[in-house]
């Protein structure tokens, strides 16, 4: 099925499919209503059965429950063929959400994640958010010591600014950065990615489908209730929403030419973008994972890649910022 080559993570020997699976809707009961554990298990299995090798989870997805479900789903598969990524930085021990990067806390978090995931090593461990006090190179140093013990293979940063990434990478230990990027959010292409490329640091975009907007399923008639997170996101408000719908209409003929959906053609664009290592769309149903995996078989021509790029040119000149606020 796959025509795509494997992609290397940073300076490591880790090789992943260019499409991974984001699992915030697997066990992330604090993020989404009405999640069922069995559906979560089926989502992970569907990914692994359909050629996806990278699973991306985090402690804060269900406060460890996503990791538990991912670990449970993985047990029927060959662990050596799975690229397992998780993230930590949230401390809820006081009842309040506190972001911590201190070496002792990160070391404890890695050990706890290993237990929940029922594995003896993590392929990628990300510091999920930067805190305000820990020197970033010290935080990364703690992960480097865990790498030397064989507990993690690659060191990642998530939601770090360019200056924070540079500080964290003082010793050259950082392998991968995860942050928001999509056809609607291209800020990082100008700011962060040149540094990452120059330092052999891989880039993994989250929200690649922009909360479903880039699937092509919405039209002008859509509206969201006040408690729906999409009602807070600028992409679903004018003028960004109108511009997004126009751009999506421009790429529908490209999708049709490949007998593909809008989602699949957008994912194919990411997989052929030289700035991106692995794209990690999430899913709430196994069928979505199966359909997303089919995008790995699409090989866009240079012309069609450029057509998609051009369709979203409005968003290249717009400062979009983050879709959601970082925790303090």
Given this model, what pLDDT does residue 245 score? Answer: 96
- pLDDT (mean) for 13-41: 95
Q: What pLDDT is stored for residue 2 in this prediction?
A: 44
Q: Could you give the C-alpha distances from 229 to 30, 165, 223, 224, 262, in angstroms and in order?
A: 13, 28, 12, 8, 23
- Beta strand pairing call for 122-127 and 176-180: unpaired
Closest of 293, 59, 321 to residue 179, by C-alpha: 321
Q: Which residue in 241, 177, 173 sits closest to 203, CA to CA? A: 177
Is residue 322 scored above 90 in pLDDT? Answer: no
What are the tens digits of pLDDT across the range 190-231?
889 999 999 999 999 999 999 899 999 998 888 877 777 777
> Which pLDDT score is estimated for 212?
92
Given a cut of 60, is residue 3 above it in pLDDT?
Answer: no
pLDDT of amino acid 266:
98
pLDDT of res. 155: 98
Cα–Cα distance between 237 and 80 in angstroms, integer? 44
CA–CA gap between residue 292 and residue 263 (Å, rounded): 7
The Cα–Cα gap between 36 and 40 comes to 6
Measured CA to CA, the distance from residue 4 to residue 297 in angstroms comes to: 7
Percent of the chain beyond pLDDT 70? 98
Q: Which residue has the higher pLDDT, 20 or 224?
A: 20
The candidate with the shortest Cα–Cα distance to 203, out of 16, 13, 1, is 16
Higher pLDDT, 130 or 189: 130
pLDDT at 1: 42
Q: In the prediction, which pLDDT does 319 show?
A: 83
Per-residue pLDDT averaged across 53-72, rounded?
98
**Length of the chain in terms of residues written:** 328
| 303: nearest Cα among 254, 263, 268, 249 | 254
Q: What is the mean pLDDT of residues 99-110?
A: 98
Whether the per-residue pLDDT at 32 is higher than 50: the answer is yes
What is the average per-residue pLDDT within 293-299? 97
- Label residue 324 by pLDDT band (50, 70, 90): confident
Segment among 244-253, 288-297, 314-323 with least mean pLDDT: 314-323
Rounded CA separation 35/206 (Å): 21
Contacting residues for 174 by C-beta, under 8 A, at least 6 apart: 10, 140, 155, 156, 157, 165, 168, 199, 201
The residues that bridge with 88 in the sheet, in sequence order, are: 127
Rounded to the nearest integer, the mean pLDDT of the chain is 95
- Least Cα distance to 265 among 247, 277, 284 occurs for 247
Asked if the model's pLDDT at residue 286 lies above 70, the reply is yes
Q: Are 41 and 73 in contact, with CB atoms under 8 Å apart?
A: yes
Instruction: Indicate which residue of 29, 59, 61, 195 is catalytic.
Output: 61
- Kindly state the percentage of the chain with pLDDT values over 90: 86
Q: Would you state the pLDDT for residue 326?
A: 79
The per-residue pLDDT for 328 is 61
pTM for this prediction: 0.95
* Helices assigned H by DSSP within the chain: 37-49, 65-74, 103-117, 136-148, 162-168, 187-191, 193-198, 240-257, 262-272, 286-293, 302-311, 313-316
DSSP letters, 3-59, are -SPPEE-TTSS-EE-SBEEE-TTSS-TTTSSS--HHHHHHHHHHHHHTT--EEE--T
* pLDDT tens digits for range 117-174: 999 999 999 999 999 999 999 999 999 999 999 999 999 999 999 999 999 999 999 9
In the residue annotation, 61 being an active-site residue is answered as yes
Query: What pLDDT, on a 0 to 100 scale, did the predictor assign at position 4?
Result: 54
């Amino acid at each position: 099925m796959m025509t795509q080559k494997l992609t290397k993570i940073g300076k490591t020997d880790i090789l992943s499919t260019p499409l991974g699976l984001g699992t915030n809707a697997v066990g992330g009961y604090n993020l989404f209503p009405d999640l069922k554990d069995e559906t979560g298990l089926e989502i992970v299995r569907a990914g692994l059965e359909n050629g996806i090798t990278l699973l991306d989870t985090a402690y804060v997805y269900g406060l460890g429950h996503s990791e538990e479900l991912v670990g449970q789903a993985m047990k029927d598969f060959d662990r050596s063929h799975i690229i397992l990524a998780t993230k930590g930085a949230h401390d809820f021990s006081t009842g309040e959400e506190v972001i911590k990067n201190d070496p002792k806390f990160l070391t404890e978090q890695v050990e706890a994640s290993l237990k929940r995931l029922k594995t003896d090593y993590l392929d990628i461990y990300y510091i999920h958010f930067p805190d305000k006090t820990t020197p970033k190179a010290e935080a990364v140093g703690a992960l480097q010591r865990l790498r030397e013990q064989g507990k993690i293979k690659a060191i990642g940063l998530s939601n770090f600014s360019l200056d924070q990434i540079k500080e964290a990478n003082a010793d050259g230990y950082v392998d991968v950065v995860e942050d928001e990027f999509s056809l609607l959010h291209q800020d990082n292409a100008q700011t962060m990615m040149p540094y990452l490329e120059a330092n052999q640091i891989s880039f993994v975009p989250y929200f690649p489908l922009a909360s479903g907007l880039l699937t092509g399923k919405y039209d002008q008639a859509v509206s969201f209730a006040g408690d729906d997170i999409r009602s807070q996101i600028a992409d679903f408000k004018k003028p960004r929403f109108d511009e997004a719908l126009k751009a999506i209409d421009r790429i529908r003929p490209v999708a049709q030419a490949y007998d593909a959906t809008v989602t699949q053609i957008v994912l194919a664009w990411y997989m052929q973008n030289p700035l991106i290592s692995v794209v990690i769309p999430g899913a709430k149903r196994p069928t979505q994972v199966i359909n997303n995996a089919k995008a790995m078989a699409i090989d866009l021509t240079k012309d069609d890649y450029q057509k998609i790029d051009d369709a979203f040119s409005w968003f290249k000149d717009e400062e979009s910022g983050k879709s959601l606020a970082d925790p303090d």
